[in-house]
Amino acid sequence: MSASLSSFRWRSVATTAAVALTLLLGAAAGCDSRQEPDLPSVQEKLRESHIWGQPVLRVGVADDEPLMGEVRDGVHIGFDVEIARYIAASLGYEGEHRIEFVTVSTEDRIPALQGGIVDLVVSSFSITEDRKKQVSFAGPYFVTTQEVLVPNRHRSAIRTIEDLRNPQYKICTSGGSTTEAELEKHQVPTLVVKDVWDCVKGIRAGKYDAVSSDETILAGFVARHPTEFEIVDMPFGTSELLGVGVPIGDPALRDLVAYFLDKSYQQGRNGEASPWQTAYNRTLGPWLRSEKRQPQPLDVPKLVDFDDKAPRR
């Protein structure tokens, strides 16, 4: 009798607790569904960034780097340009009338960002610690190496870094580039010009004997003059991480660019056709000696977007 009484009491208490907890959980679920998301959204970041409300996005690109950024028939084309178009479209700027491509030379990239002439720079911009003090970077979106482009007349003579040090060869590079610093580190005397294109023109005119730059840039010149040049693989030992330059005072825009680069990276990992892969196949892909994949972008913020609920598989 007492056992059944105690059992009934226990059951009564358990029922009360269960009803109370169910009500509590229901109330918590109701309140929770009415709250704003904890994580910032892409829209919020867009509103924080300096481009919010701008009718046109200004992107700094190169116009003299075949395969990466060049102008053909008045239209900007190249890998960097395609990446810039993808980022611009993701930020809400789709179509030629919404993007203004501003030509920036290698040495003008940082001043253009600092001076507010451009909103972004996508122009073979290597991420370095020194540059990080002046501009922000999102990425990397490409990993390349430093190589040397030699004309056919020197293809057997210039094969090593030691050969570059030979005073009889005039080695050319562009000013303000990471290549310039790297060659200096290896005690290679260089002739510094404004753009790599000037070096190539100089070599064809017999003024210089070799040019050193990123493999991606040099591959463009090989594509332009396939019978005149060859890329020589030299062990400079450094990787160039190409990133998208953003004004240092706009962390929201940097976060957005990093988020969209990562979105492309994730698509590629899932075996889907990513915007990066499409850009690569259409431009650089056929001209590089080894196949490249999109590197994982660093410091990617966690943002919520409208397509977060879409199936991943």
Partner 1 sequence: MSTAAATAEDPDAGRPPSPLPRTPVPPAASSPSATPAGSTTPATHVVPAAASPTRFDGDGDLAERRARASQSFWTAVVGVPAIFSVLRLGIEAGGELQTTLLLVANVGPVNLLAGFLTTAARLLSTVLVAVFALGGVLAVSGHRMRRRPLFARWAEITPSWFVAASFLMALVTWPLLFLPLLLPTFAAAFQLRPERLHERPTVRALVIVAAYAGYLWLLVPTLRDAWRQGEVLPIALLVVPPVLALFVAGPLPRVVIRLLAPVTQLAVLVVLVWAALPVISTPVLPLTVTTVGQPDAASAGAAEEIRGHVVTTDDVNMVILQERGGVRYVPVEHVRGQVLCPSEEELPRYRLRIHDFHVEDSLLEGLGRRVRPVHRVDAACR
Q: How far is Cα 3 from Cα 21, in angstroms, rounded to an integer?
A: 27
Measured from the CB atom, is 49 or 105 closer to partner 1?
49
Q: How far is Cα 286 from Cα 294, in angstroms, rounded to an integer?
A: 16
Is there binding between residue 271 and partner 1 (CB under 8 A)?
no
CB 250 within 8 A of CB 49: yes
Q: How far is Cα 296 from Cα 140, in angstroms, rounded to an integer?
A: 7
Length of the chain: 313
Is there binding between residue 291 and partner 1 (CB under 8 A)?
no
Report which of 264, 306, 301 is spatially closest to residue 39, judged by C-alpha positions. Answer: 301
Nearest-approach distance from CB 97 to partner 1, in angstroms: 5
Considering only residues 28-87, where is the footprint of partner 1 by CB under 8 A?
A: 28-30, 32-35, 37-39, 41-43, 46
Q: How far is Cα 125 from Cα 244, in angstroms, rounded to an integer?
A: 7
The DSSP output letter for 232 is E
Is there binding between residue 143 and partner 1 (CB under 8 A)?
no
Q: How far is Cα 126 from Cα 249, in angstroms, rounded to an integer?
A: 19
Measured from the CB atom, is 90 or 136 closer to partner 1?
90
Nearest-approach distance from CB 84 to partner 1, in angstroms: 14
3 state DSSP class of 183: helix
Considering only residues 193-212, where is the footprint of partner 1 by CB under 8 A?
A: none
Binding residue for partner 1, selected from 26, 115, 206, 249, defined by CB under 8 A: 26
Measured from the CB atom, is 37 or 226 closer to partner 1?
37
Nearest-approach distance from CB 279 to partner 1, in angstroms: 17
| Residues near partner 1, by CB under 8 A | 1, 3-5, 7-9, 11-12, 14-19, 21-23, 25-30, 32-35, 37-39, 41-43, 46, 88-95, 97-98, 302, 304-313
